[in-house]
Chains A and B, each alone.
Chain A
Amino acid sequence: MNADVLRLDLRLRRRILIGTAVGAAAYLFLIVAMYPSFKHDTSLDAMIAANPTAAAAFGVTGSITSPAGWLNANMYANFAPLLALLLTIGYGAAAIAGQDADGTLGMVANTPLSRLRLLGQKATALLLVSLVVPVASYAACLPGPHFGLDPGWGRLAGISLAVTLLAFDLGALALLVGAATGSRGAALGVASAVAGAAYLVASLAPVVSAFHRIRWLSPFTWAVGSDQLATGVTIGEAGALLGLGVLLVAASVPALERLDIH
């Protein structure tokens, strides 16, 4: 498959992708390296138990001094999805609507590439963008055993996949809104609003009963909202995340076919 559009898009975002990957890995390495100082600190768990609502707002529940709890509280329940979503929503909004507003999409759309193949390359680029933070984070955890932190490599791989798919889904939502409206602002706004609402529902579900009843609607619940680093990502959760992404990309096909490209 010719992947020129994919390569071009990744080249244009090279700096932000590398910068975010390095930043995420450096931050998580520090978290991993600090683990020995906190793993026996029971006052942290007591503080979480005393302030469950505030902790829940950061996606933190249960013990945070266990290896899984430590990584979850400091990365996978909050920062990892946030960083990954910054990249994917940014790319999703730029890939169609942003490049159309810039006028650069027209030059690419004037090559013999069909819009279906164009979208296929954009979606593949989005998937690669989605992998950046989870892969960098996984790599940063590799020295964990040296610091007494064994995250459970299978479960870590599972939540890395889940964060990847979560980021892909919200990026695909931005892609869809951008293709449907041609507006980068609408794409960024809708995807960011949905991501914010979904995060709140998933993170506050343990302490807010109204959110608890609808928590299953939130992709954050499917990815990181059920303590997946400790319990593992289920096939159902991964399937739901994957299905949502496929659905959103499929819906983008007719939207892009109808879009007037400038």
Chain B
Amino acid sequence: MSAAPIVVDHLTKSFGTSRAVDDVSLTVTEGQVFGFLGPNGAGKSTTIRCLLGLYRPTSGRAAVLGHDPAARDRSFLWDVGYLPGELRLPEQLTGADILRRFASMRGLRDTAYQRQLVARLGADLTRPLRTLSKGNKQKIGIVLALMHRPRLLVLDEPTSGLDPLLQDEFLTLLRETVEDGRTVLLSSHDLDEVQRIVQRIAVIKEGRIVLDDTIEALRASAPRTIELTFDRDTDATALAAVPGVTVRTATGRRVTLSHTGPPGPVLSVIASLQPETITARPADLDELFLRLYGTDDKDRP
């Protein structure tokens, strides 16, 4: 079995005195869509640039397809496709011109798959990029990332600007990629975009990994929401004391709480309070991520 396509080991990247990425470690295994989540400015793009050798880490190391991306040898990039978060291409060139030039840079002679991607995404290759909308430029970027069928795809906010139909088509492309045994690192600040397709998620906040787990394990441990109504004013203090319970709202006759862990203890307390109605919603990843993201996020360089 070959080594994991991405191994990050205590990676730190500083700009001056500011640590954009702080002691990050993670592993992306082959044939997996790995979601890399975090609020804007959390350090996702900086980590990705270190993985591609665009940034030199301040400390720690990474291995991408078995290569050190900080080394001078860039041959590992033959097998990597990259879509940056803010796609910038020469604005005066047409999509066709850009695809032709980058195909040549990658030594790509068989462009059948490139043409297939253009057709599936409906990319406009005839007009200069400066006349295209953000979504239409993004299509060119997606074709550039995928056209050489790389073993590893690194996608930073890939569906930015795409309409919902194209987002579905894009996710289909990613599913085909992993079915082919290839690997995808999908960075996003949007959980909805990621949770439909990824097998594993890491969350980065203020430069540090705050969560790294499989989607199944996260769903199992994610908080469930329970809503209670009463026919009288009720004191929710006893609920707040139960391990794993967070009382989100308590307005006398209505209580909403989040709960993780075994249900027995909380059900016992609820039963003793004799509510009029009980509504329980399934595990909610949004709730988990909102907690992780917090409210004090600041943009970083």
Binding site for B on A (CB under 8 A): 2, 4-5, 7-8, 11-12, 102-104, 106-116, 257-258, 260-262
Quick one: given A104-B89, A107-B88, are A113 and B72 in contact (CB under 8 Å)?
no
Residues of chain B within 8 A (CB-CB) of A108 are: 105
Taken together as a complex, chains A and B put the C-alpha atoms of A262 and B49 apart, in Å, by 8
Residues of chain A within 8 A (CB-CB) of B101 are: 4, 7-8
Taken together as a complex, chains A and B put the C-alpha atoms of A113 and B107 apart, in Å, by 11
- A118, closest chain B residue (CB): B74
Identify which of B72, B75, B80 contacts A115 (C-beta below 8 A): B72
Report yes or no: B77 in contact with A112, Cβ–Cβ below 8 A: yes
Report yes or no: A113 in contact with B56, Cβ–Cβ below 8 A: no
**Chain A, interface SS category:** helix
Return 25 A-B CB contacts under 8 Å, by A number: A2-B105, A4-B101, A5-B105, A7-B101, A8-B101, A12-B93, A103-B86, A103-B88, A104-B89, A107-B84, A107-B88, A107-B89, A107-B102, A107-B144, A109-B53, A110-B52, A110-B77, A112-B75, A112-B106, A113-B105, A114-B73, A115-B74, A260-B49, A261-B54, A261-B55
Taken together as a complex, chains A and B put the C-alpha atoms of A116 and B76 apart, in Å, by 16
Chain A: minimal CB distance from B274 (Å):
61
Report yes or no: A116 in contact with B72, Cβ–Cβ below 8 A: yes
Residues of chain B within 8 A (CB-CB) of A261 are: 49, 54-55
- B145, closest chain A residue (CB): A110
B residues contacting the other copy or chain, number (CB 8 A): 30
- B50, closest chain A residue (CB): A260
Quick one: given A4-B101, A8-B90, A262-B54, are A112 and B84 in contact (CB under 8 Å)?
no
Chain B: minimal CB distance from A12 (Å):
6
Chain A: minimal CB distance from B72 (Å):
6
Identify which of B54, B56, B73, B89 contacts A109 (C-beta below 8 A): B54
Residues of chain A within 8 A (CB-CB) of B52 are: 110
Residues of chain B within 8 A (CB-CB) of A12 are: 90, 92-93
Taken together as a complex, chains A and B put the C-alpha atoms of A12 and B97 apart, in Å, by 12
Instruction: Tell which of B74, B78, B93 has the most Cβ of chain A within 10 Å.
Output: B74
Residues 82-106 of chain B, each 1 if its beta carbon lies under 8 Å from chain A, else 0:
1010111110110000000110111
Identify which of B54, B75, B92 contacts A110 (C-beta below 8 A): B54
Residues of chain B within 8 A (CB-CB) of A257 are: 72
- B154, closest chain A residue (CB): A110
Chain A: minimal CB distance from B145 (Å):
9
Residues of chain A within 8 A (CB-CB) of B144 are: 107
Taken together as a complex, chains A and B put the C-alpha atoms of A103 and B80 apart, in Å, by 19
Report yes or no: B72 in contact with A111, Cβ–Cβ below 8 A: no
Residues 35-54 of chain B, each 1 if its beta carbon lies under 8 Å from chain A, else 0:
00000000000000100111
Residues of chain B within 8 A (CB-CB) of A116 are: 72
Report yes or no: B92 in contact with A260, Cβ–Cβ below 8 A: no
Residues of chain B within 8 A (CB-CB) of A104 are: 88-90
Report yes or no: B84 in contact with A111, Cβ–Cβ below 8 A: no
- A8, closest chain B residue (CB): B101
Chain A: minimal CB distance from B95 (Å):
14
Identify which of B74, B88, B102, B105 contacts A102 (C-beta below 8 A): B88
Taken together as a complex, chains A and B put the C-alpha atoms of A141 and B92 apart, in Å, by 34
Report yes or no: B56 in contact with A258, Cβ–Cβ below 8 A: yes
Instruction: Tell which of A102, A103, A110, A257 has the most Cβ of chain B within 10 Å.
Output: A110
Taken together as a complex, chains A and B put the C-alpha atoms of A110 and B80 apart, in Å, by 9
Residues of chain B within 8 A (CB-CB) of A112 are: 74-78, 106
- B88, closest chain A residue (CB): A103
Taken together as a complex, chains A and B put the C-alpha atoms of A65 and B20 apart, in Å, by 65
